Amino acid sequence: MRGKACKENWRFYKKPNLGFPALILSCSFFFIAGLFASNLLLSQDTSSDERWLKARARQLQSVEEEIISKYNLLPSGETGDDFITLIPFQILSWRPRALYYPGFLTAEQCQHIINMAKPSLQPSTLALRKGETAETTRGIRTSSGMFVLSSEDQTGVLQVIEEKIARAIMIPRTHGEAFNVLRYEIGQKYDAHYDAFNPEEYGPQTSQRVATFLLYLSNFEEGGETTFPLENDENFEGYDAQKCNGLRASLHASCHVIKGEKWVATKWIRDQVQDLVGAGKNGSCHKTVQQIELSLSWLLT
């Protein structure tokens, strides 16, 4: 009885012989099923992305319509915009005219500029005045830097930044020099200097700097401030006014870095359209360009 039950409960089935055609048919079925499933998942992902993009577009359109209805925009010219530009800023001083633009760049944009500049950094130099030499001006400026045109950035990041700067200062981007990216390591600094070039000191100028926009690209723990010794033509305590000349209000200096590494990118704006052919990583768009470092942004008054 027990053995019979055992035989009835345990049965061994012979493996069927499918044959080659049946095997091909089976493999084809699983391949098609897998392809269908992957396409289904892909279409779901694509649909999800499309839904997000459409929702984002509707949101932007809603914001745009709200702004248009609120501000009643005027018809723009060929070179104008048909939208509102909102860039928050704080007035730090009227003389010098210094403005602060919080959160002007994203962290990704800052890192992108640093990554572009690192391979091409060289010791910073000075535009020499009459009677000055590289030896007599040694130690005035100890940072390292490089120049880069927005057209050299294939990602388009620098072009976007240039457009935003132009809207912030209301001067077309065609008036800008190449970006000057600078790195200040511990102990490095730039003594008090001016941005514009006094023709009596530097010789005749084909154009003149009228504004500077400084982009802070990194956080550093101590030091590295940009100071303006004069405001409203009045001396700050501890500053030797005898060393001042030229455009008094725009005199400024970059304090030495005590802790951390300071990265900045400077965009100088001129009073005339700039021909940037040949400018970039190997030099600036002017032979007399001074690779200086300014804080925030201001018009030279």
State the pLDDT at residue 60. 61
Query: Above 60 in pLDDT, residue 78?
Result: yes
Q: How confident is the model at residue 164 (pLDDT cuts 50, 70, 90)?
A: very high
The answer for 210, left when phi > 0, alpha when psi is -120 to 50, beta otherwise, is alpha
Q: Which residues contact 3 (CB under 8 A, 6 or more apart)?
A: none
Query: Above 80 in pLDDT, residue 219?
Result: yes
Better-scored residue on pLDDT, 166 or 53? 166
Better-scored residue on pLDDT, 32 or 99? 99
Output DSSP code: residue 176: B
Residue 240 phi/psi, 5° resolution?
Answer: -85, 100
Query: Could you give the percent of the chain with pLDDT greater than 70?
Result: 63
Give the least confident one: 59-73, 99-113, 245-259: 59-73
Query: Above 60 in pLDDT, residue 288?
Result: no
Q: Which pair of structure tokens corresponds to residue 144? A: 């390292």
- Under a CB-based contact definition with an 8 Å cutoff, are residues 296 and 99 in contact? yes
d(CA 143, CA 125): 9
Superfamily of domain 90-299, CATH level 4:
q2cbj1_9rhob like domain (2.60.120.620)
- Under a CB-based contact definition with an 8 Å cutoff, are residues 219 and 171 in contact? no
Output DSSP code: residue 175: G
d(CA 242, CA 229): 12
Boundaries of every domain in the chain:
22-77, 90-299
Better-scored residue on pLDDT, 135 or 285? 135
- Under a CB-based contact definition with an 8 Å cutoff, are residues 287 and 230 in contact? no
Residue-wise pLDDT tens digits, 115-153:
999 999 999 888 888 888 888 888 888 899 999 999 999
Helices (H), the chain: 2-9, 20-71, 107-117, 157-169, 199-202
Residue-wise pLDDT tens digits, 271-284:
999 987 444 543 43
